[in-house]
A and B are shown apart, each in its own frame.
Chain A
């Protein structure tokens, strides 16, 4: 094969090279909508929610999680008493550890502060594995008991299955179960 042939062969190889496989995190990127059911620790229903969820890249290796929760009234979102909450959190890979930590932006005017869990600072981190995205938040309460929140988002054929737990000192006091479908 002459030099031109080698170049042509190389170019073809580059063109037909399969795209790099998506990472478990990249597979979760998207916009989702759905519903969830809120229960107390005994499984008694408390409320119904509409959900908007966006998982998007942040600075190449991290991700941003945006959630809009709408607590319905009698199953409707057009009645007085409806509550809408927006929550956004950003996670970046932890150094030399297999999980993500909450991004705390150190700026010129707001130097990075040391995390102080004993003073009540929430400890937030996230894990992405083959099962999905798991976000944890731990807080040491004023009286020395702890609160641990877990939010699990696991891929399904058309979206995500959601499971949220609020654990107060070892007892589940709130549970949210739902599903969202991918719209983008």
Chain B
């Protein structure tokens, strides 16, 4: 299969997968079920791992393989499992109640994607990128869009667990930006970031559990006793 070694092919694959990641993010905005949301996050992380693997393959960057593998294990399998178990343990309403209704949310996500393109345009210099499979500006724009939509989701949701998912999808956006700009940061740092994200999810899971226990609800809009 000679076409596999063609950088052009790699380019297209990456762009295609990045586009799918964006589609999944917008699906997550419209998703009403918590479990569905967790699955979308897992799928998105799987695609990111695939993108990282593709980049590693075409640029012969061995350390990116490790990053891809870690993403696959940690973000596509372990974190979704932890979150799914948490949903069962807490066992309260699984439906997400966004503040802004779904059609409008999707529309806002579309606008944020455009913002991503405008921002990416302003500082991306493809002619200077040295890699074989130079990543299109699409990937960077999508990464920024992921970050912004994740932020919007965070503001738009009331349930503690769904906010955690939104935060994680923001992190996915940053990850995509990192690998599309510089093929990721040095491995030691990447490992540190993975470790921090993992610990953060554990800490958040404990907090979510205790909030659910103490307040009999995961609705963080009920957390408003501290003011002024």
The judgment on whether A and B are partners is no
Q: Which residues of A contact B (CB under 8 A)?
A: none
